Amino acid sequence: MAFKCPVCKKQWNFSLQVARHIFGTGDKPHRAWVESEGESYADLLVQQATSPGNASYETVAKLVEKAQSKL
Amino acid sequence: MTTTKKAQEATAKKGQEMTTFGLAKEKLTVLNTHVHNIDGVAKVTGRATYSFDTKLPGMLYGKILRSPHAHARIKNIDASKALALHGVKAVVTGKDTLGIKQGIWRRYQELCDEQILPVEKVRYIGEPVAAVAAATEEIAEAALDLIEVDYEVLPGVFEPMEAMKKDAPTIHEGVERNINVTRHIEWGDVESGFEEADYIREDNFFCGGQAHMCMETRAAVSSYTPEGKLTIYHSNQSAYYMQALMAGVLGIREGDIRVIAKYVGGGFGGKFELDGAIFCTAILTMKLFRPVKIVYTREEDFIATKRRTPMHYWVRTGIKKDGTFCAREARVVSNGGAYTGMGATALYLTGFFHSFPYVWPAYRYDGYRVYTNTLPSTSMRGFGAPQAMWCSEQQLEWMATDLGLDPIEMRRKNGHYAGYEVPGQAYIASCGLDEALTKTKEWIKAKGKLPANRAIGYSAAGFMSGGIFNWFDTPYSFSSAVVTINQDGTVILHIGATEIGQGSNTTMAIIAAETLGVKVEDITVHSGDTDHCPADLGAWGSRQTLMTGNATKRACEDAKRQILEFAYAKMGLNIVYDLDIKDRWVHIVARPERGMPWEELCKIATRGKDGQRIIGRGFYTPHRKGMISPAYSYMMQAVEVEIDKETGHIDLIDSLTAHDCGTPINHLGLIGQLEGAFSMAAGYGYLEYMPYEDGKLMNPNLVDYKMIRATEMPETPIAEIDTYEPEGPYGAKEAGEGLTNPTAAAIGNAIFHALGIQMKECPVRPHMIVQALKEKEEKDKAAKGAKKGK
C-alpha cells in the first residue's frame, strides 16, 4: 500500500516514511497539519531529539495512516 | 570484495587510466613540484599589508560596546556623555542602521536572524550594542565607559537540552522551543539493517566548541565618500560575500561597495559571515565621511565572533560478526548559540560525514540545532565532520575490539571505493582510502612494541573538495578567473578567490604556469578585491583548489588557444600538427625542437591583435555532482600517545598522516596544510576547551585557552596517497581541511588502546582520564569479586 502525505500528497511505501518527510520538511503547512490532528509538533520534535527510538515518528505515522481514507 | 564493488572500481579506474593516458602524454613541468609561496617574502619581511595594518588619511579608530548580559531587552541607550568626550566623533547604535536582519542563508529568510547592533534585545554576552569612532583607540575605549545602556535583564538558557524545554525562555520570537533548524538524511532500510546485525551498540557523545584562533583577529577599515562609494579593507574568507551581504544591510548597490582582502591572517571557517568590525566601521564612516578602523582584541575575538558547533551525539551501530556494516542511526542536538550563521550547514554536514568513509547499506541521521544564549556557533575547519568522526571512529574501534576483529581490516572491508555512490548524496570518482589504510598499518608494524601507557590510535575520514550548496543564492558562477598575457610574456591572473594564508594564490599561479607553459615567476596573481577580480564564493569548504583551480585552468586554456593561433600562422604548420608550450618554448608536440620562444609569440600576438592583449576567461560551477561536493578526499591519521596515569597528562609522541589529495599541486603547500590541520585538530582532541558559566566564556585569552604549542607538536611525517580526480584540475582535490576530521578520534583511540578507557567527551582533559581510570579500577575490582564469589 502507498501512503500519501496529507499536506503535499507526495507518496511513500510506508507511513513512517511519510512521518519522516513531515518532520524533515517542517514548514508551516506540515506543522499545522500535525497540530490540527491534536498533537504538538514542537513536543514531538523535542521528544524525537532527546529520547532514543522513534516514538514521535510512530505517532505521526499513525496519524498519516488514519488520514489516508480522507485523501 | 563483492563483484559489484570490483566492477565499479574497474570502471572508475578505466576512466582514470584514460585520463591519465592523456596526462602522461602531457609532461608536467611545474605542477607536483616544491614551490615556495609566491607571497612568502612579502609576508616574512612585513611588506604584506593586512587589514590590521591598513592606515588611511584622516582615519579614526573605532571600538564596540558589548552586552554584559546573555539575554536582555535594550530599553534605552544614552550616548550623550560619550559624545561630549574630547576626541569622540560619533556613537552609533541599532537606531542608526536600517534594522535589517542578515544571514548567509539568503535563500531562507527565517534563517537571516542576526541584526548586528540589535535594536530590541541582546542574545549573548559580547553582542555589539553600540560603536564609537574617535581620534585615537584610547579615546574610543574610554568613551565606551560613558555610554549608558538601560537593560531589562531576561532569563537566559545556555544548553540546548534545557532550551528545548517547555518553560525555557524564548530567544527568537516565534521560534517554538528554540529549535532553529532540523536536518535529516536517510537511505536503505534501517530497521531491517539492525535486524541483520549480530552486534548493536549505542553510545552518547559530546563534542565541545573550539575557537577559530586566527592569527589576525577580526579587523576592518571602511571609507565612504560623498560620491556614495564605500571601500572596505576587511579580514575575511570571501570578499564577494562581504560585498553582497553589506549591500543587503546598508541598502546600497553591490557595485558601490569595494571589499579588499588582499592578505588575510587565517579564517578557518570563521570569517565568511559579517562581523561587528565590518558592519560598525561602515555605519560610522557613512555617518562621518572619514575612514574608520576597528581591530578586535584577542578577548573580543573569543567572546564576540563565532565558534565550532558543540554537539550532543547519539550513535547506534549494527555490524555482523565478520565486521560487515549493517546499519547506523545517529541523532545530533547542537548548541547553536544566539544566531544561525553557518550552523545549519554544519548540522547537515556532520550527519553526512558521520557516514564517511564507509559503505552503509542503511543509514539514518536526524540533526536538531537549538538556539541558546551563548556565542553563536558556526562552520569551522572540517565543517561538522570532526565531531562526526570523534563519535564514529571511536565507536567502530570499540566494536571491532569487542568482536576481536582487526579494526584496520574492518575499515578496509567497509570502506568507500572509486565508483561508489553514497545513495542520493554523492558520487565517489577517486578514493585512496585503501592505500591510506595500508600505509597506516605498515607504520604501526614498524613501530613494534611500545612502552607501558603508550599506544597508537588511528582514525579514517573523508571530506569534500568544494561545497556545492548555493545557500547564498548567487547568480554568479561559483568561481571565475581572468588571465591577461602581456607582450613580454608575463601573465596577470585575476581570481576572486581569497588568499587566507593557505597558499591559494600560489596554487593558482602553479596551475596557470602549467597550463600556459610558462614559469611560476611569470605569473602575477591578484585576488580578494571585488573591484578588480571576478566574483568567487571564496575560501570555505575546501573549494579553491578544485573550483578556482578549474576556473584558472580554463581561463589559461582559453588564452593559450588564442595565442597558439598566432603560432600556427607564424610557423606555417600542416594542420595535423599539434602545438604546445612548455618552459616558455612554443613547439610542435611531435618535434619539440621545432618552435619559437614564448616571449616572441606574445609580441607577435599583441601586434596581431592591433595592440590588444590576449585575455582568457574561465569559470566553474558544479553541475550533476550530487548534493554536497564534486569530489572527495580520503585520509588516515595515526597518533602515538603517552599518558601519565597519575595526572592524566597526554603527550603526543609521533604521528603519521596518510592523505589522498588527488594529484598534489604543490608538495610544500601540501605539507604546510597537513601540519596545520594536524595541529588544530589535535588541539581539539585534548586541549582546546571553551567552558561557559551562565553564558560567559571563562577563558577568553591565550593563557587559559590551551592550544598546542610548537614544543608539544610531534613529528608529522606524511604519506602522500596520489590518486587522480577526474573533476579536479590536473586531477587535484582538497588538502588541509579534511585532515581536521580524524585526528581527535585518533587521540581518543590511542587513549583506549593505552589504558582501556573509552572517552566520550571531546576535548579529553586530564581530570577526565583520572576519573575514567578510577571508574575502570572499581569496575575491574567488582568483576574480580564477582568471579571469586562464583
CB contact under 8 A, B202 and A46: no
Taking CA atoms, what residue in A is nearest to B178? A42
Q: What is the mean pLDDT of residues B525-552?
A: 96
- B72 with B151: CB under 8 angstroms? yes
Placement of cell 612502552 in the chain: B451
Quick check: B66 pLDDT over 50?
yes
Cα distance from A68 to chain B (closest Cα, Å)? 23
For the segment B186-215, what is each residue's pLDDT rounded down to a tens digit? 999 999 999 999 999 999 999 999 999 999
For the segment B387-442, what is each residue's pLDDT rounded down to a tens digit? 999 999 999 999 999 999 999 999 999 999 999 999 989 999 999 999 999 999 99
Decide: residue B721, CB within 10 A, 0-12 exposed, 13-18 middle, 19+ buried: buried
Give the per-residue pLDDT at A52.
Answer: 75
Check residue B102 and report its DSSP letter: B
CB contact under 8 A, B177 and A52: no
Angstrom distances, CA of residue B617 to CA of B499, B550, B552, B622, B692: 20, 11, 8, 17, 50
**Residue among B161, B166, B186 whose CB faces A50 most closely:** B161
Can you tell me the distance from the alpha carbon of B481 to that of B690, in angstroms, rounded to the nearest whole number?
A: 40
Cα distance from B334 to chain A (closest Cα, Å)? 10
Question: What confidence category does residue B13 fall into, taking pLDDT thresholds of 50, 70 and 90?
Answer: low
Can you tell me the distance from the alpha carbon of B554 to that of B559, in angstroms, rounded to the nearest whole number?
A: 9
Give the per-residue pLDDT at B22.
Answer: 42
**Greater confidence, B26 or B493?**
B493
Q: What is the mean pLDDT of residues B359-371?
A: 96
Q: Which residues of B touch A (CB under 8 A)?
A: 161, 164-166, 176-177, 179, 182, 184, 186, 202, 314, 316, 331, 333, 366, 368
CB contact under 8 A, A26 and B368: no
With the C-alpha atoms ordered B149, B224, B496, B109, is the resulting torsion angle positive or negative? positive
For the segment B668-723, what is each residue's pLDDT rounded down to a tens digit? 999 999 999 999 999 999 999 999 999 999 999 999 999 999 999 999 999 999 89
For the segment B616-649, what is each residue's pLDDT rounded down to a tens digit? 999 999 998 888 999 999 999 999 999 999 999 9
- B366 with A48: CB under 8 angstroms? yes
CB contact under 8 A, A52 and B161: no
Residue B286 zone, left/alpha/beta (φ > 0; ψ -120 to 50; rest): alpha
Residue-wise DSSP of B592-643: TTSEEEHHHHHHHHHHHTTTPPEEEEEEE---SS-SS-S-EEEEEEEEEEEE
Taking CA atoms, what residue in B is nearest to A17? B186
In whole angstroms, what separates CA B617 from the centre of its chain? 27
Least confident of A12-16, B253-257, B278-282, B408-412: A12-16
CB contact under 8 A, B316 and A49: no
Can you tell me the distance from the alpha carbon of B681 to that of B689, in angstroms, rounded to the nearest whole number?
A: 13
Can you tell me the distance from the alpha carbon of B676 to that of B307, in angstroms, rounded to the nearest whole number?
A: 18
**Greater confidence, B523 or A26?**
B523
- B390 with B189: CB under 8 angstroms? no
Q: Which one, of B126, B83, B118, B113, lies nearest residue B98 by Cα?
A: B118
Q: What is the mean pLDDT of residues B515-522?
A: 98
Q: Which one, of B354, B546, B540, B313, lies nearest residue B462 by Cα?
A: B354
With the C-alpha atoms ordered A32, A33, A36, A41, is the resulting torsion angle positive or negative? negative
- B357 with B433: CB under 8 angstroms? yes
Q: Which one, of B365, B315, B311, lies nearest residue B333 by Cα?
A: B311
Q: Which residues of A touch B (CB under 8 A)?
A: 20, 23-24, 26, 41-43, 45-46, 48-50, 52
Question: What is the rounded end-to-end Cα distance, in angstroms, of chain A?
Answer: 14
Could you tell me the three cell numbers for B654?
609521533
Quick check: B2 pLDDT over 80?
no
Can you tell me the distance from the alpha carbon of B15 to that of B725, in angstroms, rounded to the nearest whole number?
A: 10
A-B CB pairs within 8 A amount to 35
- What is the rounded average pLDDT for all residues in chain B? 94
For the segment A12-43, what is each residue's pLDDT rounded down to a tens digit? 989 998 998 898 888 889 999 999 999 999 89
Mode of pairing for the β-strands spanning B88-93 and B72-78? unpaired
Placement of cell 550513535 in the chain: B315
Mode of pairing for the β-strands spanning B377-378 and B307-308? parallel
Residues in chain A with CB shorter than 8 Å from the CB of B368 are: 45, 49
Phi, psi angles (nearest 5°) of residue B218: -60, 135
Quick check: B21 pLDDT over 50?
no
Can you tell me the distance from the alpha carbon of A69 to that of B247, in angstroms, rounded to the nearest whole number?
A: 51
The CA-based dihedral angle spanning residues B532, B537, B539, B543, taken in that order and rounded to the nearest 10 degrees: -120
Phi, psi angles (nearest 5°) of residue B693: -125, 115
DSSP E strand boundaries for B407-502: 421-422, 426-427, 454-464, 479-485, 491-495
Give the per-residue pLDDT at B16.
Answer: 52
CB contact under 8 A, A46 and B177: yes
In whole angstroms, what separates CA B694 from the centre of its chain? 29
Give the per-residue pLDDT at B351.
Answer: 97
Phi, psi angles (nearest 5°) of residue B565: -60, -35
- A33 with A64: CB under 8 angstroms? no
β-sheet bridge partners, residue B616: B483
- Listed in sequence order, the residues at least 6 apart from B290 whose beta carbon sits closer than 8 Å to its beta carbon are B58, B59, B60, B89, B133, B223
Give the per-residue pLDDT at B473.
Answer: 86
- B219 with B235: CB under 8 angstroms? yes
CB contact under 8 A, B331 and A49: yes
**Mutation target among B107, B363, B368, B627 for the A interface, most CBs of A within 10 A:** B368
Residue B23 zone, left/alpha/beta (φ > 0; ψ -120 to 50; rest): alpha
User: What angle (nearest 5°) sits at the alpha carbon of residue B733, between those of residues B731 and B737?
Assistant: 165
Residues in chain A with CB shorter than 8 Å from the CB of B184 are: 20, 23-24
- B504 with B543: CB under 8 angstroms? no
- B596 with B567: CB under 8 angstroms? yes
DSSP E strand boundaries for B502-568: 523-527
Give the per-residue pLDDT at B5.
Answer: 65
For the segment B449-488, what is each residue's pLDDT rounded down to a tens digit? 999 999 999 999 999 999 888 788 888 999 999 999 999 9
Taking CA atoms, what residue in A is nearest to B364? A20
Give the per-residue pLDDT at B20.
Answer: 43
Could you tell me the three cell numbers for B202?
549505542
Q: What is the mean pLDDT of residues B105-114?
A: 91
- Listed in sequence order, the residues at least 6 apart from B268 whose beta carbon sits closer than 8 Å to its beta carbon are B212, B213, B214, B380, B381, B680
CB contact under 8 A, B176 and A24: no
Question: What confidence category does residue B10 fall into, taking pLDDT thresholds of 50, 70 and 90?
Answer: low
Q: What is the mean pLDDT of residues B40-59?
A: 96
Cα distance from A48 to chain B (closest Cα, Å)? 9
Cα distance from B329 to chain A (closest Cα, Å)? 10
β-sheet bridge partners, residue B460: B636
Residues in chain B with CB shorter than 8 Å from the CB of A46 are: 164-165, 177, 179
Give the per-residue pLDDT at B705.
Answer: 97
**Residue among B179, B202, B331 whose CB faces A42 most closely:** B179
Give the per-residue pLDDT at B719.
Answer: 95
Could you tell me the three cell numbers for B664?
598534489
The CA-based dihedral angle spanning residues B745, B419, B660, B397, taken in that order and rounded to the nearest 10 degrees: 20
